[in-house]
């Protein structure tokens, strides 16, 4: 979820400000925490007589997120960004990378589905696993091509990759760490 929503939210917060995006996300987290805390069944947590133990965590989580939302709402007042002031609504909507969002969201979603199905309910050789994996790889390659060659002001800032290799090395390291974490779990 954060992999698909992170880049679009970051880009839109440059045009409309950060505060309300943070508050709205925190409200969704509060609602989700309350739903989970009130759930009647949470899989393996019910083993060994700890059927109420998971609720305490989510009640504490709800309280902490609520405090964060209130503090952010009333105390966080960042200065407006230049693009937030200069551009009109039509210009802001035109600068958003809609094609990139579609490619990113569908590519990562299909990739996650392929990883979830592989060696779990299906083999890597099954056609539906391979189809999801190949289509997701093609979509993500198309995203890289689109945002580097066709779109100058897309969701990925080009100057980050032109100056030096630090950001590229960091992203490859983070990706490798995520794959390792996924494999361990």
pLDDT tens readout for residues 135-167:
999 999 999 889 888 887 777 777 777 777 787
Q: What is the mean pLDDT of the chain?
A: 84
Whole-angstrom Cα distance, residue 63 to residue 24?
Answer: 16
- pLDDT tier, 64 (very low <50, low <70, confident <90, very high otherwise): very high
Average pLDDT over residues 83-110: 89
pLDDT tens readout for residues 17-50:
888 888 999 999 999 989 888 877 665 555 555 5
> What pLDDT sits at residue 136?
95
**Lowest-confidence region among 31-45, 55-69, 86-100:** 31-45
- Taking the CA atoms of residue 95, residue 100, residue 101 and residue 105 in that order, the dihedral angle to the nearest 10 degrees is -170
Q: Is residue 91 pLDDT above 70, yes or no?
A: yes
- Asked if 33 and 57 touch (Cβ cutoff 8 Å), the reply is no
- Asked if 128 and 120 touch (Cβ cutoff 8 Å), the reply is no
Please report, for residues 83, 118, 119, 125, 137, the alpha-carbon distance to residue 130 in angstroms, rounded to integers and kept in the order given: 43, 9, 12, 7, 10
């Amino acid at each position: 979820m954060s992999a698909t929503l992170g880049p679009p939210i970051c880009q839109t917060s440059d045009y409309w400000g950060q505060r309300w995006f943070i508050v709205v996300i925190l409200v969704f987290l509060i609602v989700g925490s309350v739903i989970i805390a009130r759930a009647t069944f949470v899989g393996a947590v019910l083993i060994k007589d700890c059927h109420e133990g998971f609720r305490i965590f989510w009640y504490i989580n709800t309280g902490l997120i609520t405090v964060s939302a209130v503090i952010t709402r009333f105390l966080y007042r960042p200065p407006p960004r230049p693009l937030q002031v200069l551009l009109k609504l039509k210009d802001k909507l035109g600068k958003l990378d809609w094609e990139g969002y579609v490619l990113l969201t569908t590519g990562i979603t299909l990739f996650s589905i392929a990883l979830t199905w592989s060696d779990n309910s299906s083999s890597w050789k099954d056609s539906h696993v391979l189809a999801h994996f190949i289509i997701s790889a093609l979509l993500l390659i198309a995203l890289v091509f689109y945002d580097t060659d066709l779109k100058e002001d897309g969701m990925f800032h080009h100057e980050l990759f032109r100056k030096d290799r630090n950001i590229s090395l960091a992203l490859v390291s983070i990706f490798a760490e995520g794959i390792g974490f996924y494999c361990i779990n």
